[in-house]
Structure 1
Amino acid sequence: MGPVRGGLILSLLAGPALAEVCDKARPGWDGVPVTALDEALYLFTTPISLFLIAALATAVVFRHAMGAALVALLWGFFITSLILPDQTGTSAAAITEGCAASPALYIALSGAICLAAVIYTARREKRL
């Protein structure tokens, strides 16, 4: 293998040394590839997710069906912002570099939490 081909192969490989996108997307990244569980934990600890969790917990405690539905709708808007295509390609590049992972686990868990809250707070018919 010649030096040109070797240099070309090395330039195409994604690595932490070449990852400028990781400095912008995840400034505290330590170089270890992120798993789906790590990504879900990262997304659950963002300020908007913490606010949505607190709002949903409040709606569940007071058994307010419309409140739970409203928070589920807001959570859906947040998830939509995660899955819409990124025009700059930053999220795809971050996943390729390894400093971010697919948010699929976060989306599934968020959907399950919202569905459970909406079902729990739904008004039930009183049987005679």
Structure 2
Amino acid sequence: MGLKARQICTTAALAAVVSFWWEPAFAEVCDKIYPGWDGQEFSVFNEAAAFLTNWVGLAALFCLAIGSTVLRLRALLWVGSLLGGLLLLMAITSWGDAGHEVWQSAIKEGCAHPQFELIHLLSASVLTAMGVFLGLRQTRRARSLGTTRA
């Protein structure tokens, strides 16, 4: 066997061995955007969950959950609404990031949904609207019960 044939056989053998242990490579850009990314493509629900699980989103969800179950803590609903509004403001100000090369790479790798801006905007809008709705409902309910505490 000549030198060229030996190189071809060696390369083919190495490629076969490496292909047995082949795993999807986690892109560096995905680690920067979503550090806990597990290699699965993002669906609409994954994108919304990833957006709402930063500290502001978790605090808003916590305030809404506690404030909606305890009548005397309705001020927490308004705090949750304000935090939801902060997320909404963040989604509005980051509109247009999809054109940035980092986000384009993340979309190509599958760690960001192609419509992530719209998903972020809708998630924050729903969170804020839910907080305002629950806050108004609790305020009306407290007035009908004769409670004067905020």
Q: CA deviation at 1:84?
A: 1.5
Q: What runs of 5+ residues in structure 2 fail to find an aligned partner?
A: 1-23, 145-150
Is 1:96 aligned to 2:113, yes or no?
Answer: no
| Greater relative CO (CA pairs within 8 A, separation 6+) | 1
Does the residue aligned with 2:140 lie in a helix, a strand or coil? coil
Opposite residue 96 of structure 1, the aligned amino acid is: I
Q: Give the 3 Å change call, closer, same or farther, for CA 45–94 of structure 1 in structure 2.
A: farther
Counterparts in 2 of 1:47-126, with a 5 A limit? 47-63=55-71, 64-85=73-94, 89=100, 92-93=103-104, 96-97=107-108, 98-101=110-113, 102=116, 103-124=120-141, 126=144
Cα distance in 1, alignment partners of residues 57 and 42 from structure 2: 19
Q: What runs of 5+ residues in structure 1 fail to find an aligned partner?
A: 1-15
Match of 2:31 among 19, 23, 26: 23
* Preserved contact between residue 26 and residue 39 of structure 2 (Cα < 8 Å): no
- Say what the alpha-carbon RMSD is for the aligned residues: 3.4
Q: Give the 3 Å change call, closer, same or farther, for CA 52–32 of structure 1 in structure 2.
A: same
* Preserved contact between residue 39 and residue 106 of structure 1 (Cα < 8 Å): no
Q: TM-score, normalized by length of structure 1?
A: 0.61
Q: CA deviation at 1:95?
A: 5.2
Q: Give the 3 Å change call, closer, same or farther, for CA 73–27 of structure 1 in structure 2.
A: closer
Percentage identity across paired residues of the two chains:
27
Tell me the residue number matched to 2:43.
35
